[in-house]
Protein backbone atom coordinates (compact mmCIF):
# COMPACT_ATOMS: atom_id res chain seq x y z
CA UNK A 1 0.00 0.00 0.00
CA UNK A 2 2.88 2.34 0.84
CA UNK A 3 4.50 1.72 -2.56
CA UNK A 4 1.22 2.41 -4.33
CA UNK A 5 0.77 5.60 -2.35
CA UNK A 6 4.32 6.70 -3.20
CA UNK A 7 3.84 6.01 -6.92
CA UNK A 8 0.58 7.93 -6.91
CA UNK A 9 2.30 10.92 -5.28
CA UNK A 10 5.14 10.79 -7.82
CA UNK A 11 2.66 10.72 -10.72
CA UNK A 12 0.76 13.71 -9.33
CA UNK A 13 4.02 15.59 -8.73
CA UNK A 14 5.17 14.85 -12.28
CA UNK A 15 1.87 16.05 -13.73
CA UNK A 16 2.05 19.21 -11.62
CA UNK A 17 5.59 20.00 -12.79
CA UNK A 18 4.59 19.27 -16.39
CA UNK A 19 1.61 21.64 -16.11
CA UNK A 20 3.86 24.41 -14.76
CA UNK A 21 6.37 23.87 -17.57
CA UNK A 22 3.64 23.97 -20.24
CA UNK A 23 2.19 27.16 -18.74
CA UNK A 24 5.62 28.83 -18.71
CA UNK A 25 6.27 27.84 -22.31
CA UNK A 26 2.93 29.27 -23.44
CA UNK A 27 3.48 32.52 -21.54
CA UNK A 28 7.09 33.03 -22.62
CA UNK A 29 6.43 32.28 -26.29
CA UNK A 30 3.56 34.76 -26.60
CA UNK A 31 4.46 37.63 -28.96
CA UNK A 32 5.18 40.84 -27.11
CA UNK A 33 3.37 44.03 -28.04
CA UNK A 34 4.90 47.45 -27.63
CA UNK A 35 3.00 50.62 -26.77
CA UNK A 36 -0.07 51.15 -28.97
CA UNK A 37 0.43 47.71 -30.57
CA UNK A 38 -2.04 44.85 -30.39
CA UNK A 39 -2.28 41.24 -31.48
CA UNK A 40 -5.84 41.62 -32.72
CA UNK A 41 -7.85 44.48 -34.18
CA UNK A 42 -10.80 45.16 -36.45
CA UNK A 43 -12.05 47.92 -38.74
CA UNK A 44 -15.73 48.14 -39.69
CA UNK A 45 -16.81 50.45 -42.52
CA UNK A 46 -20.05 50.22 -44.51
CA UNK A 47 -18.36 48.32 -47.37
CA UNK A 48 -15.95 45.40 -47.31
CA UNK A 49 -13.39 47.13 -49.49
CA UNK A 50 -13.19 50.15 -47.15
CA UNK A 51 -13.01 47.86 -44.12
CA UNK A 52 -10.12 46.04 -45.80
CA UNK A 53 -8.31 49.32 -46.45
CA UNK A 54 -8.62 50.27 -42.78
CA UNK A 55 -7.42 46.82 -41.73
CA UNK A 56 -4.39 47.04 -44.01
CA UNK A 57 -3.50 50.42 -42.53
CA UNK A 58 -3.52 48.83 -39.07
CA UNK A 59 -1.39 45.92 -40.28
CA UNK A 60 1.15 48.32 -41.76
CA UNK A 61 1.69 49.93 -38.36
CA UNK A 62 -0.94 52.65 -38.41
CA UNK A 63 -2.95 53.75 -35.40
CA UNK A 64 -6.70 53.34 -35.00
CA UNK A 65 -7.05 56.97 -36.12
CA UNK A 66 -4.98 56.28 -39.25
CA UNK A 67 -7.21 53.31 -40.07
CA UNK A 68 -10.41 55.28 -39.46
CA UNK A 69 -9.30 58.13 -41.74
CA UNK A 70 -8.26 55.77 -44.54
CA UNK A 71 -11.58 53.90 -44.31
CA UNK A 72 -13.55 57.17 -44.35
CA UNK A 73 -11.68 58.43 -47.41
CA UNK A 74 -12.57 55.17 -49.14
CA UNK A 75 -16.21 55.53 -48.06
CA UNK A 76 -16.38 58.95 -49.72
CA UNK A 77 -15.82 57.08 -53.00
CA UNK A 78 -17.76 53.88 -52.42
CA UNK A 79 -20.78 55.50 -50.75
CA UNK A 80 -20.53 59.25 -51.44
CA UNK A 81 -24.18 59.72 -50.49
CA UNK A 82 -23.25 58.78 -46.91
CA UNK A 83 -19.85 60.41 -46.50
CA UNK A 84 -17.75 62.83 -48.47
CA UNK A 85 -14.85 65.24 -48.24
CA UNK A 86 -17.28 68.05 -49.03
CA UNK A 87 -19.11 67.65 -45.73
CA UNK A 88 -18.27 67.67 -42.05
CA UNK A 89 -17.25 65.20 -39.37
CA UNK A 90 -17.34 64.72 -35.61
CA UNK A 91 -14.33 62.60 -34.66
CA UNK A 92 -14.64 60.76 -31.34
CA UNK A 93 -11.43 59.24 -29.98
CA UNK A 94 -11.31 56.98 -26.92
CA UNK A 95 -8.02 56.41 -25.07
CA UNK A 96 -8.30 53.00 -23.42
CA UNK A 97 -5.21 53.53 -21.24
CA UNK A 98 -6.55 56.73 -19.64
CA UNK A 99 -10.28 56.26 -20.11
CA UNK A 100 -10.50 59.72 -21.64
CA UNK A 101 -12.73 60.60 -24.60
CA UNK A 102 -11.77 63.38 -27.00
CA UNK A 103 -14.08 64.91 -29.60
CA UNK A 104 -12.93 66.87 -32.65
CA UNK A 105 -15.82 68.92 -34.03
CA UNK A 106 -15.17 69.56 -37.72
CA UNK A 107 -18.71 70.12 -38.89
CA UNK A 108 -19.45 72.59 -41.67
CA UNK A 109 -19.29 76.29 -40.76
CA UNK A 110 -21.86 78.84 -41.90
CA UNK A 111 -22.10 82.65 -42.07
CA UNK A 112 -23.21 84.61 -39.00
CA UNK A 113 -26.52 85.47 -40.68
CA UNK A 114 -27.48 81.78 -40.79
CA UNK A 115 -30.99 81.31 -39.39
CA UNK A 116 -30.90 78.98 -36.40
CA UNK A 117 -34.36 77.62 -37.23
CA UNK A 118 -33.65 77.26 -40.96
CA UNK A 119 -34.08 73.49 -40.99
CA UNK A 120 -37.42 73.65 -39.17
CA UNK A 121 -38.96 75.73 -41.95
CA UNK A 122 -36.77 74.78 -44.90
CA UNK A 123 -39.79 74.32 -47.18
CA UNK A 124 -40.53 78.06 -46.93
CA UNK A 125 -36.95 79.21 -47.55
CA UNK A 126 -35.85 79.42 -51.21
CA UNK A 127 -32.50 78.12 -52.38
CA UNK A 128 -29.86 80.76 -51.78
CA UNK A 129 -26.53 81.60 -50.09
CA UNK A 130 -27.88 80.84 -46.61
CA UNK A 131 -27.73 77.13 -47.49
CA UNK A 132 -23.99 77.26 -48.23
CA UNK A 133 -21.51 75.93 -45.64
CA UNK A 134 -17.74 75.56 -45.66
CA UNK A 135 -16.72 71.87 -45.50
CA UNK A 136 -14.72 70.83 -42.45
CA UNK A 137 -14.26 67.11 -43.00
CA UNK A 138 -10.76 67.09 -44.43
CA UNK A 139 -9.58 69.54 -41.74
CA UNK A 140 -11.05 67.25 -39.10
CA UNK A 141 -9.12 64.31 -40.54
CA UNK A 142 -5.97 66.42 -40.60
CA UNK A 143 -6.34 67.48 -36.97
CA UNK A 144 -7.01 63.91 -35.80
CA UNK A 145 -3.97 62.72 -37.75
CA UNK A 146 -1.75 65.43 -36.26
CA UNK A 147 -2.73 64.34 -32.76
CA UNK A 148 -2.87 60.57 -33.08
CA UNK A 149 -1.64 59.51 -36.52
CA UNK A 150 1.57 57.60 -37.12
CA UNK A 151 1.77 56.86 -40.85
CA UNK A 152 2.50 59.60 -43.41
CA UNK A 153 -0.58 61.65 -44.32
CA UNK A 154 -0.38 60.73 -48.00
CA UNK A 155 -0.36 57.00 -47.24
CA UNK A 156 -3.95 57.28 -45.96
CA UNK A 157 -5.10 58.46 -49.40
CA UNK A 158 -3.04 56.10 -51.56
CA UNK A 159 -5.32 53.01 -51.24
CA UNK A 160 -8.34 55.01 -52.43
CA UNK A 161 -6.37 56.69 -55.22
CA UNK A 162 -5.39 53.21 -56.41
CA UNK A 163 -9.03 52.15 -56.08
CA UNK A 164 -10.11 54.94 -58.43
CA UNK A 165 -7.74 53.68 -61.12
CA UNK A 166 -9.50 50.30 -61.23
CA UNK A 167 -13.09 49.19 -61.96
CA UNK A 168 -15.36 49.86 -58.99
CA UNK A 169 -18.21 47.71 -57.71
CA UNK A 170 -21.42 49.61 -57.01
CA UNK A 171 -23.08 48.59 -53.75
CA UNK A 172 -26.84 47.93 -53.49
CA UNK A 173 -27.18 51.09 -51.37
CA UNK A 174 -25.47 53.21 -54.00
CA UNK A 175 -27.59 51.61 -56.71
CA UNK A 176 -30.77 52.47 -54.78
CA UNK A 177 -29.68 56.09 -54.31
CA UNK A 178 -28.78 56.47 -57.97
CA UNK A 179 -32.21 55.17 -58.95
CA UNK A 180 -33.89 58.04 -57.09
CA UNK A 181 -35.48 60.62 -59.38
CA UNK A 182 -33.26 63.42 -58.03
CA UNK A 183 -30.26 61.57 -59.43
CA UNK A 184 -31.62 59.83 -62.49
CA UNK A 185 -33.62 62.59 -64.18
CA UNK A 186 -31.68 64.71 -66.70
CA UNK A 187 -30.78 68.20 -65.54
CA UNK A 188 -31.16 67.53 -61.83
CA UNK A 189 -28.64 69.52 -59.79
CA UNK A 190 -28.00 66.64 -57.41
CA UNK A 191 -27.03 64.44 -60.33
CA UNK A 192 -24.49 66.97 -61.51
CA UNK A 193 -22.76 67.32 -58.16
CA UNK A 194 -22.74 63.84 -56.65
CA UNK A 195 -19.75 61.66 -57.47
CA UNK A 196 -20.41 59.15 -60.30
CA UNK A 197 -24.20 59.67 -60.35
CA UNK A 198 -24.50 61.19 -63.82
CA UNK A 199 -21.99 58.78 -65.33
CA UNK A 200 -23.34 55.52 -63.91
CA UNK A 201 -27.10 55.78 -64.30
CA UNK A 202 -27.35 52.46 -66.13
CA UNK A 203 -25.18 50.36 -63.83
CA UNK A 204 -26.82 47.83 -61.54
CA UNK A 205 -25.80 46.77 -58.05
CA UNK A 206 -22.51 44.87 -57.94
CA UNK A 207 -21.68 45.75 -61.55
CA UNK A 208 -18.28 47.26 -62.15
CA UNK A 209 -17.82 50.87 -63.18
CA UNK A 210 -14.77 52.95 -63.97
CA UNK A 211 -14.54 56.46 -62.53
CA UNK A 212 -14.67 59.38 -64.99
CA UNK A 213 -11.31 60.53 -66.33
CA UNK A 214 -11.96 64.03 -64.98
CA UNK A 215 -11.52 62.65 -61.47
Q: What pLDDT, on the 0 to 100 scale, is given for residue 46? A: 86
Q: Is the pLDDT of residue 177 over 80?
A: no
CA angle 4, 6, 25 (to 5 degrees): 120
- Tell me the C-alpha distance between 195 and 129, whole Å: 22
pLDDT (tens digit, 9 = 90+) per residue, 189-201?
445 545 444 444 3
pLDDT (tens digit, 9 = 90+) per residue, 136-176?
999 999 999 999 999 999 999 999 999 888 877 777 777 77
Calculate what percentage of the chain has a pLDDT beyond 90: 33
* Other CB atoms within 10 Å distance of the CB of residue 180: 14
Q: Is the pLDDT of residue 207 over 90?
A: no
- Tell me the C-alpha distance between 37 and 59, whole Å: 10
Q: What pLDDT, on the 0 to 100 scale, is given for residue 4? A: 67
Q: What pLDDT, on the 0 to 100 scale, is given for residue 125? A: 63
Local confidence band at 11 (pLDDT 50, 70, 90 cut-offs): confident
Known binding-site positions for L-glutamate? 107
Containing 104, the helix (H) or strand (E) segment is strand 100-106
Containing 194, the helix (H) or strand (E) segment is none
Local confidence band at 114 (pLDDT 50, 70, 90 cut-offs): confident
pLDDT (tens digit, 9 = 90+) per residue, 15-69?
777 777 777 666 666 655 555 566 678 899 988 999 999 999 999 999 999 999 9
Local confidence band at 126 (pLDDT 50, 70, 90 cut-offs): low
Amino acid sequence: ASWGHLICCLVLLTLGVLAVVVALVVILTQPECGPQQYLHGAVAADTKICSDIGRDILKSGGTAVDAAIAALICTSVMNPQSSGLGGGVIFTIYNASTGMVEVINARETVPRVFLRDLLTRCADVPIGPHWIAVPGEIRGYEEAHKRYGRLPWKSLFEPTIKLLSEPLVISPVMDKIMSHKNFSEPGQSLCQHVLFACHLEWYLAWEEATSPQSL
